[in-house]
Amino acid sequence: MKIMKQSIAFLAALVLVSSATLPALPTAAAGSYDMAVTVDLSGSGKPISPYIYGINEYGHQEDLKNLRVNAVRQGGNRMTGYNWENNASNAGADWKHSSDNNLSKSDAPADCVQQLSKEAEKYGIGYKMTTLQLAGYVSADKNGSVSEAEAAPSDRWNEVKVTKGSAFADEPDLTDGTVYMDEYVNYIINKLGDSQSKTGIQGYSLDNEPALWSGTHPRIHPQPVGMKELSDKSIEVASAVKKLDPNAEIFGPALYGYTAFDHLADNDSSTEWETLKSAGGYHWYLDYYLDTMKQASDKAGVRLLDVLDIHYYSESCRNGTEDRLQSVRTLYEKGFVENSWIGQWCQTNIPILPTVQNSIDTYFPGTKLAITEYNFGGEDEPSGAIAQAEALGCYADANVYFASLWGGSEYILSGINLYTNYDGKGGAFGETLMPTTTGDVSKSSAYAAQNKDASTVTVMVTNKSLTDSEAAVISLKGAKKSYKKAAVYAVTAGSPEIKLIDTVDVSGDKLTVNLPAYCAAMVVISDDANAFDGAQQEEKVEKTAVYDDPMSMINENGYVEIPITDPEHLKKIVITGDATSRLGSSWGSAGCAVCINAVAEDGTKFWTSKGYSIKLGSGSSATVNFDGTLTNKEEEVSAVVADGKVELQQWWDSSEKKQEGDEEYDITVKYTKVEVIYEYSGTSLRGDVNKDGSFDLADLVAMQKYLLASGTLADWEAGDFLGDGKLNAKDLSMMKRELLK
């Protein structure tokens, strides 16, 4: 920043007279308030597991390039029927019970887990978890749909046995009709090293969502899983793993949600749960599972369950934005009642995470807690980032050991990066959580942490108001250091990208941060007064080409053809369509692809595609992202669209009335709009609205003239101090304050 001493007087005068020459600053809206955020730095705090910043591999391979995470899980429905010997897997009811090469096109044994290891090494991910199969059978082939008549046992399936009982082979026998779990783990260790090695697997999941097997995988396990059955299988597999890799961590039982926590897959026609509950005096199913694993561990002389594994998909967030903004509170706040059947009928176990922890403490103390699938929704709106940011803070506070997001994009992923890479340079939330409170969590949630030497305090704070910007007054209680400067990085309504929106001074262990409406922010507080000098933000300008009648753009091949006018700056394509079902299905989706002729940097031309899906109904939207790399023969290379166009093709569909594959192409897609978005980047100096390379009084004058409609700005975005996509008197006020400093 350049500012001459003789200009200070003029600046002060300008501040005094500005209220006469500009419209008055907006007054606080009804219901707005100053957020009172108190961070208690007097104690030692508690460590945060780095593995709560995790993601599921399935569907996120491309996201790993732009998302910084510390853990990755290889799991999901596809893994229940996965055959490690040939990499065949089965989709189950998710899609025509198809056995195919969805997880890997390779026939090499354990290729999936080897690719997981390579991905983790490439992106610096330290913790890797894969899934072992417990349901009884896995895909024998990659020959497509499995009919009901071909349900296991049949030649479409190989039987799963836990222990081989004889010497392990260097390469598996593909002709014996059997796969062995202990041979699989041994193969992994021989190929990648054990759990203590850099390339090895640290955690093993005891299958996936067993309470749903009879619905998701009826060709494998048509009857609801029994409670004793699941415990017995869990104990047997865990024992086999521990013999081969004693330090590997066992995760189980990967329950799909609240109902499974309570009574697994038991229903009114079964008496198993009532019998076990009465005999053991258990509160809910989790108690029984933990107790049986504890008893088996004591008998074996080795811990057979290291991490209790649950999944959590919020019921209330399905109602939309307002409920999503409050949805995380069900996990941690006593007395909170969410807008769903859980809020209505299940208050005995709310808040959920403390209740789960109580089960652990009672029946198997020392067991860690994992949430290996979760998603609060809102990928295309700020509520997604706000809920995601609050969830990660909640996980840290609840001593969660491992958490991995399932699905999600855009705003949701930014909610993770806000903790792990807020400045694009590896800036991350501190390692030690410090007690933090806000006046009203319905309006603002906050979590804070210190780094190892306490030189930096990071405060995640949200503004849940959809309309009002707010002042967050952050008090650093009991600080042992003198903090001097803070920077504010935020995800706002203007963009899912994290931006530096302000730098402020710390005075007397207090600072005030102005937050735009509807945002999640990371406030980075440093003991170095010069920590953020010369801070610059990336200026990213988007230009969008909109095609409102895509169905008129069908080419000679019979596909909608979309022009790409600037391949090097292509950022994303947003595709909107109406999907209809010929069979009258109540749900379904069409699997589509943006098909591309590409050219690599070395001039090599190749064909590739990027997949997306359109859900049944009208106005379903999908986003296909581009980052300068495209896949050529399963390898990512720097490449762009070669011939200035792409095609939209439909490859498959799945719906309620088409599970056996008897009807082809049940769902038809009519595209209603396609938006092609290009992004242009440069370096924007905050406040340099006249773009002369410095931030000084000339910029303040230019900004004032612009707001009085008597001038123009060379760099409009540099003046958007609030980061809300607007320029107004609040931005001018913040600009003045910055110059006065």
Q: Which residues pair with 370 in a beta bridge?
A: 309, 402
Q: Which one from 209, 272, 410, 717 is the annotated catalytic residue?
A: 209
Please give the order of strands across the beta sheet that includes 446-450: 46-47, 432-434, 446-450, 456-463, 519-526, 485-492, 495-505
Query: What DSSP state is assigned to residue 452?
Result: T
Residue 87 contacts residue 106 (beta carbons within 8 Å): yes
Whether omega for the bond prior to residue 246 falls within 30 degrees of 0, making it cis, is no
- Residues 414 and 430: their CA atoms lie apart, in Å, by 17
Q: Which residues pair with 547 in a beta bridge?
A: 674
- In angstroms, the Cα distances linking 72 to 101, 209, 415, 480 are 21, 18, 17, 36
Query: Both tokens of residue 517?
Result: 């409406």
Residue 547 contacts residue 635 (beta carbons within 8 Å): no
Q: Could you tell me which of 518, 421, 391, 392 has the C-alpha nearest to residue 463?
A: 518
Query: What DSSP state is assigned to residue 507?
Result: B
Is 663 an active-site residue? no
Q: 559 — phi, psi (to 5°)? A: -120, 155
- For residue 368, the SS3 value is strand
Query: Both tokens of residue 483?
Result: 């903090």
Query: Both tokens of residue 400?
Result: 């969660």
Query: What DSSP state is assigned to residue 536?
Result: E
Q: Which residues pair with 660 in a beta bridge?
A: none
CA atoms within 13 A on the CB side of 728: 12
Query: Both tokens of residue 624?
Result: 């296909």
Q: Which residues are catalytic?
A: 209
